[in-house]
Each structure stands twice: as structure tokens, then as C-alpha cells.
Amino acid sequence: LEAKQTKARVLALHQDAQRLLRPLAVVNPYADRLTFLADKTRTRRDHEKYLTLIDTIALLHQYQRPIRSLNGLDYVEVTPDDIAAANRLAHDVLGRSLDELPPQTRRLLWLLRDMVAHDTVSMAMHQTDYRFSRKQVRDYTGWGDTQLRLHLDRLTALEYLLVHRGGRGQSFVYELLYDAPRTAQANGGSQPHLSGLIDADALSNTTSTGSSRGESPRNAGAMRAQNGPLAAVCRPAGLAAMPVMTGVGEDSVPVLAEIHSTDAVSLVRSYPQSRLEHPVAGEAHA
């Protein structure tokens, strides 16, 4: 009985909070910089969840944000703080822990991370552009080929490594997908981590869309430069990403059904970009 009453109170609270939210559109001015791994079927499914999560967080903060307007359509903009919050939740909900790895396989992953970090710094390369062969790993670790093959195959199956076809007589080369900070090693890798997400701190230096995008006097800020980057995608008002509440009444907001397509590459932009007729209206995604 107590559990039933607690559930009823929680649902009532969710319903009351949901009724306070306006069905605003959500614009992400950082959409062309978002990244998400899409090399596996599982991560491609998680991609849509990640996008909706960012929209939902921005929408929930609508009373702490200026409401902008374009051609009579009111909207709120995503901020780097929204993306940082979405990343934290994505790591916890969509990420996976290294606890699933046997100790020796986990040790190889740490060694691979150190090797890749050293080589990418010395070669001034990004981790996503760096490839390495099994021979390189064998020379770096001193492990035997049979042992190394076993653990590399395990890391590949669990999506910590991505296999590419090599060149110049090499059968395969590997890419390290795992990009957790070194602090993850201190706690044994027990903290869940979702690889491939952009660091939200890198977005903090990027300005938001300028007032040239809106008509409302509530829009503040300098006008965007003539050759500035294109503004982000905008959801139609009817497709604003509302938080999904379980068991709410008839006035609950339906779950979104739109699809964000991805490119067939290991690391894709989160939002496919397409130009609208309006020169400053941003870019729309379905």
C-alpha cells in the first residue's frame, strides 16, 4: 500500500511539472560539432537516445533561458552545460564498465591507451586518426602473439577496438575507440564510460547563435558574422523533445518518433545538416 501511494505521489508530481513546460522547439547551435560512435548496431540505436536527451535537458531549463522567436516560432537554445549534463547521463546510462573485462584484457587496454596517447602526441595526430598493427602492440607490450590475439579479439568484440583493413601487405590495423580519461584507471575502470562523445568544455568557447536568427526583442547578443558557421538544427514545435513520463494522464506528451540518420563511419556528426531556404533560420533535422 505504501509503495502504491508513493508511486501515485511521484506520478502526480511528474504530471504537475510537465504541465508547466511549454511545447517549445529546441535549437542546438553546436549540432555540427557533436559526435557519436556509430560503428555498431547498438551504438547507432543509442545515438537517437543521446540526441533526445540533449533536447530534453534544454527544454527542462526553458525557464532559465531566454525564449527566442523566428517567424512566430518560439524556441530555446542548447548550451554547453546541457551537453555536459547529457554526456554525464550518457556515460552512466549508455556507457559500459571495464568490470566486464578479465583482468589481463583490461591491462592490455590500459597499455594500448598509453601507447596510443604517446604516439598521437609525438605525431601530432588525433586518436581517431591513429591506426596500429598487432606487431606494434607486440613490440610495445612484449606479449606473445597467441596471448595478444586472444585479448585483441576480445576487445574488438566488446567494441573497445575497431578493426580496419590495412595496406601494404598488412591484413588488419586497429583503432582505439576507448577514450576514457586516465582517472578511470585509478578506480579500476569501474566507472561506466561511453566513448566517442565530444568534450563539452571544448564547446564553451563557441558563441551561441546571434540575434539575426530571431525576430523577438527578447533575443540578445551580437549579430553573427557574415561568414560565420551555420546555425544549428531546429525541431518543429510539434516535435519538441519533451520528457517521457511513465503512467501520466491524457495530457502527457507523446514520445518522439523522428529519426536522426547517421553516416556509415565510426565517428559521425550527431545531426545531419541540410540547408533551409531562410538564410539564417538554421538547419533542420527530421
What integer best gives the mean pLDDT of the chain? 70
Cell representation of residue 12: 502526480
Amino acid found at 214: G
Q: Is the pLDDT of residue 200 over 70?
A: no
Percent with pLDDT over 90 in the chain: 21
Confidence at residue 182, expressed as pLDDT on a 0 to 100 scale = 61
Confidence at residue 229, expressed as pLDDT on a 0 to 100 scale = 43
If pLDDT is split at 50, 70 and 90, which confidence band does 148 have? very high
Provide the strand spans (E) within 215-271: 233-234, 267-269
Q: Is 169 exposed, middle or buried (0-12, 13-18, 19+ CB in 10 A)?
A: exposed
Higher pLDDT, 144 or 186: 144
- Three-state SS string over 197-209 comes to CCCHHHHCCCCCC
If pLDDT is split at 50, 70 and 90, which confidence band does 43 have? low
The helix (H) or strand (E) run that includes residue 45 is helix 41-60
- Return the bridge partners of 233, or none: 28, 283
Most confident of 70-74, 135-139, 191-195, 264-268: 135-139
On whether the CB atoms of residues 209 and 29 are closer than 8 A, the answer is: yes
Provide the strand spans (E) within 109-215: 161-165, 172-176
Estimate the share of the chain in helix, then strand, then coil, as percent rounded to the nearest 5: 40, 10, 45
- Cα 10 to Cα 157: distance, rounded to the nearest angstrom: 41
Cell numbers 533535422 correspond to 285
Domain 98-186 belongs to what topology? Arc Repressor Mutant, subunit A (1.10.10)
Shortest CA distance to 262 belongs to which of 42, 99, 63, 89?
A: 42
Shortest CA distance to 219 belongs to which of 30, 13, 27?
A: 27
What integer is the mean pLDDT of 37-49? Answer: 65
- Return the bridge partners of 27, or none: 77, 234
- Return the bridge partners of 36, or none: 268
Distance of CA 76 to the CA centre of its chain: 19
- Cα 155 to Cα 10: distance, rounded to the nearest angstrom: 42
Confidence at residue 41, expressed as pLDDT on a 0 to 100 scale = 55
Phi, psi at 86, each rounded to 5°: -65, -40
- Return the bridge partners of 28, or none: 233
Task: Flag the least confident range among 4-13, 36-45, 86-95, 107-116.
Answer: 36-45
Task: Flag the least confident range among 23-37, 67-81, 82-96, 236-250.
Answer: 236-250
- Return the bridge partners of 267, or none: 37
- Cα 257 to Cα 278: distance, rounded to the nearest angstrom: 25
Q: Is the pLDDT of residue 11 over 90?
A: yes
DSSP category for residue 151: H
Confidence at residue 168, expressed as pLDDT on a 0 to 100 scale = 64
- Cα 185 to Cα 240: distance, rounded to the nearest angstrom: 39
- Going by their DSSP bridges, the two strands 73-77 and 25-28 should be labelled as parallel
Q: Is the pLDDT of residue 212 over 50?
A: no
Longest dimension (CA), the chain: 70
Percent with pLDDT over 70 in the chain: 56
Q: Is the pLDDT of residue 151 over 90?
A: yes
Locate the domains of the chain by residue range: 2-94+200-269, 98-186
